[in-house]
Amino acid sequence: MPVIWNSIFLATSAAALYGSADFFGGLATRRASVLPVMIFSQLAGLAALLLVLPLLPKATATVADFSWGTLGGCALAIGLALLYHGLATGKMSVVAPVTAVLAVVVPALAGFAAGDRLSWRGWSGIALALAAIVLIGQEGAPADAPERRRSRGLGAAFLAGALLGAFLTVLKQTEPASGLLPLIPARLSAVAVLSLVSLFRRPGFRAVRSAAWLIVAAGALDVSANVLYLLAARLGTLTVAATLASLYPASTIVLARLFLGERLQYIQIAGLACAATGVAFIGAG
């Protein structure tokens, strides 16, 4: 299998796992507050990572690798906190796709500046993937919703998207020889930032026990997605890996359809078709 297809497979698999993690995390937040769910899912992911590392080939990380990991973890934690704030205060069908698209644009610009070059098929595939992200994020809400409600959360969405894009970008900067080691400081710094936020928000931690297995599942899936994305970014271009990984809402809505009985809107089905076409174009390019 050509390297480009290896990268595409890993990145799309990462998207599937990111979306699955969001699904389980979303179920957990129905039983417990958002911040505790985020903190304990990050810890669960860290524990899973530490259990797997001894089974992998020996890796050597530099100070720069750990620094990139730490920076990425901070960006991820703040970005996720802003995303949840935006989803809580604004329209999900606006906030979610805006965040996801910006999470693609930032690494795409960074990749282009670093020398990523794609054929017209590759760029067409990325354009289709961006369109898919927007279409999948729609929830079929009434068009006559108040304008104030539509505009709420946009500032948080822009910042969240930029920070999540920064997370995807900085992981690419780590050396292949470092293996998965940069993900350790990424997780630790994310927990530290979220814990600091919780000191000011003072969320309730008591309900966490009832959502424990959901939190563990979300954390394990999320760190697995991080691993696959990191490998995809190292094998291929940052632009392609980040774009495909950002298709994660697709797996979330599919799982919601399968397990919660939520109906797919026609516009979301069109988005799924658009995503599949985009992946094919990227592979051909």
The confidence score (pLDDT) of residue 150 equals 52
* Non-local CB neighbours of 212 within 8 Å, separated by 6+ positions: none
In terms of Cβ atoms closer than 10 Å to its own Cβ (0-12, 13-18, 19+), residue 117 is exposed
* Mean pLDDT computed over every residue of the chain: 87
Give residue 90's pLDDT. 72
Residue 13 CA to residue 15 CA, distance in Å, equals 5
| pLDDT of res. 109 | 86
Percent of the chain with pLDDT over 90: 48
Identify the residue with better confidence: 150 or 190: 190
pLDDT above 90 (res 66): yes
Tell me the pLDDT band of 224, cut-offs 50, 70 and 90. Answer: very high
Whether the per-residue pLDDT at 147 is higher than 60: the answer is no
So what's the pLDDT on residue 93? Answer: 64
**What is the Cα–Cα distance from 26 to 168, expressed in whole angstroms?**
22
| Over residues 34-63, mean pLDDT | 93
Give the residue, 265 or 51, on which the prediction is more confident: 51
Stated length of the chain = 285
Mean pLDDT of 178-186: 97
Nearest one of 101, 28, 71 to 172, comparing CA atoms: 71
77-107 confidence digits (pLDDT tens):
999 888 888 876 777 667 778 888 888 889 9
Per-residue pLDDT of 185-202, as tens digits, reads 999 999 999 999 888 877
Three-class HEC string of the chain:
CCHHHHHHHHHHHHHHHHHHHHHHHHHHCCCCCHHHHHHHHHHHHHHHHHHHHHHCCCCCCCHHHHHHHHHHHHHHHHHHHHHHHHHHHCCHHHHHHHHHHHHHHHHHHHHHHCCCCCCHHHHHHHHHHHHHHHHHCCCCCCCCCCHHHHHCCHHHHHHHHHHHHHHHHHHHCCCHHHCCCCHHHHHHHHHHHHHHHHHHHCCCCHHHHHHHHHHHHHHHHHHHHHHHHHHHHHHCCHHHHHHHHCCCHHHHHHHHHHHHCCCCCHHHHHHHHHHHHHHHHHHHC
Whether the predicted pLDDT of 282 surpasses 80: yes
Predicted local confidence at residue 265, as pLDDT:
84
**Per-residue pLDDT band at 119 (split at 50, 70, 90):** confident
Average pLDDT over residues 249-273: 88
Pick from 129, 64, 74: nearest CA to 100 = 129
Looking at residue 249, its pLDDT comes to: 86
pLDDT digits (tens, 9 = 90+) for 129-146: 989 988 887 765 444 555
pLDDT of residue 51: 95
Residue 3 confidence (pLDDT): 65
Q: Is the pLDDT of residue 55 over 70?
A: yes
Total-model pTM: 0.89
The percent of residues above 70 in pLDDT, for the chain, comes to 92
CA 79 to chain centre: 10
Average pLDDT of the residues in 224-253: 92
Task: Provide the pLDDT for residue 24.
Answer: 93
User: Is the pLDDT reported for residue 226 higher than 90?
Assistant: yes
